Structure 1
Amino acid sequence: MTVTLIAAIAENNALGKDNKMLWHLPDDFKRFKQITSGHYIIMGRKTFDSLPGILPNRTHVIITRQEDYKAEGCIVVNSLDAALAASPQDEEVFIIGGGEIYRQAINIADKLDLTRVHGIAPEADAFFPEIDTSRWKVAGKIFHPKDERHQFEFTFETYIKSY
């Protein structure tokens, strides 16, 4: 199994505030869909609640402490270990948030697929964990300027764990 953390984060690692994203970047959404389609996506309950609904062509695995939580068409578990055990062992799986789930998963992840949003240090209540550059190496970067559809510049960054 390859475990990939995928997130859009500000330069200060901000993820969101009040269970909402801090920006609207259509090309980031497009990339997220392209990368995660056909795969299992693991998330915390609050992240699931923030989605517009079930994301098509993906199997949703929701981690929650709530014993009686149900989400039709989703796998509901109570730990990251259970989420990984419920996912295919021979495929790439994606962890899509939120901050606490990223913190639990960063040390077991194999890859980070980040959209680094430039030029803002927003007020946030959820953050991506610090990336230890002695353990993670940049495998690729693609810069995207701001334009009529994107209020901010951003860079797609891929990190691979260096063992």
Structure 2
Amino acid sequence: MSLTIIVARASDGTIGDKGRLPWHLPADLRRFKALTMGKAMIMGRKTFDSLPGLLPGRRHVVITRDATWHRDGAESAPSPAAALAMAGDDAVVIGGAEVIAHMEPLAARIELTEVDGDFGGDTVMPAPGAQWRVVARDAHAGYAFVTLERANAL
């Protein structure tokens, strides 16, 4: 299994605010679509609820503690382990912070959009630690696309 985390993170650690991204970067949305197309996206229920609807061409695997939760077009998983089993190979984790924290030890890659600025959001995530190494950086005005791989990966 190859697990990738896809996340946009501001300088202050913000990844969301009130269920939304506090910035609008069309290039990041295009990159997100390209990175997720044809894959199983693993996410928490709040992240699913923040989407504009089902994203075409992708599976939606939603981790929720609510055994009665159901949405047409989405698959419900009671735990991160169950979500991984359902998603199969080449899955991507798209949030939120708690799901990313659970999955980070299992991920081989992080596709990070670094957003310049402090947004003071209500959902934050720490910067990737020393176990990650930058293998690509594409800098733009106000943001950068960064690919990280686990430092001990062969």
Q: TM-score, normalised by structure 2?
A: 0.95
Q: Corresponding residue for 2:135?
A: 139
State how many pairs are aligned.
152
One of 106, 110, 113 as aligned partner of 1:112: 110
The alignment status of 1:44 with 2:41, answered yes or no, reads no
CA shift, 1:49, in A, is 0.3
2:32 paired residue number = 32
- Give the share of equivalent positions with the same residue, in percent: 38
CA displacement 1:46-83 (0-9 Å, x = unmatched)? 00000000001000000011110001111101111000
Give the alignment of 1:1-163 within 5 angstroms: 1-88=1-88, 91-118=89-116, 120-133=117-130, 135-145=131-141, 153-163=142-152
Q: Deviations over 1:131-162 (max 9, x none)?
A: 112x11001000122xxxxxxx1000000001
Q: CA deviation at 1:111?
A: 0.4
Q: Structure 2: which 5+ residue stretches go unaligned? A: none
Name the Cα RMSD after superposition: 0.9
- Alignment-derived partner of residue 148 in structure 1: none
Instruction: Give the Å deviation of 1:122.
Output: 1.1
Higher percent of residues as helix:
2
SS at match of 1:75: strand
Q: Is the 8 A contact 2:4 2:111 kept in 1?
A: yes
